[in-house]
Amino acid sequence: MIRFPWGKRAILAAGALLLAAGVASCGGGGKADVTDRPIDDTVLGTMAVYEVDLPGDFAGFVKIEGSGFKNNEQSAQENFDPVDELQDLERFAQEREYVRRYGPEADGSTSAGAINFVSAVRLFKDASGAAAYLEDELADTEGSVGKEAAGVTIDAVKRLKVGGIGDKAAGVKITMTVAGEGSERPEYETRVFFRRGRLLVDLAAIRRDDIDFKSELETLARSLDERIEIVLKEEPAVSPAPAASPTPEASPTPAQ
């Protein structure tokens, strides 16, 4: 179970603020879509992995450069194909992204296997856009085999079976070759995605060793899905308490 750095009361208070702003409950005969309401930066920032939640030998890693809120231009620059990615983000109407990147401390010991851990949550205009983007991202990832960018060549992509998380879940295992100073080294990236309404969560573990890390990411993803339900549920258990609300990094200025 993921722990809440500010305590569950503060998280529930953040959810209560949404109702205080006059957000209406979702209608319909099926399960309500808890994401069908305004989601501000404070709330979006609670939906990514914290240092205390990092699994396995990623425990002890710290937040590094590249973390924070991203507009679409900034979000696309971190993709293997930035031009195509920006077109996709605009086509599927992503509103913004929040990312936490983790790596070893500069003066700390490094793991024999773990390199970096990335937790991202994307907010789209609607659930259909989030669903379409997920399918497109999976197809683009599979289509990247044999391509090279910034010294990284994608050697293989394998789909992973992931289920029972959110409205839709999926995973991939990526094998790549990274060019260094006069040498090359293999790296392995395991990614697990899940969608909840118009939110898309992406967890990525980058390693030196080719081990099966899917189960750790699935466990983390299930706990994040529970967090989303707690933050955005229709009937928060506490009254709004602005002073107790979390304050993630400020939103970025638009890219020039």
Q: What is the per-residue pLDDT across 133-152, written as a single tens digit (0 to 9) for each?
A: 999 999 999 999 999 988 99
From residue 33, how far is each of 36, 57, 77 by CA, in Å? 6, 35, 31
Residue ranges covered by each domain of the chain? 8-240
Query: Does pLDDT of 14 surpass 80?
Result: no
- pLDDT per position as a tens digit, 64-117: 999 999 999 999 998 888 999 999 999 999 999 999 999 998 766 666 899 999
- pLDDT per position as a tens digit, 191-204: 999 999 999 999 99
Q: Which CATH architecture has domain 8-240?
A: 3-Layer(aba) Sandwich (3.40)
Mean per-residue pLDDT of the chain: 83
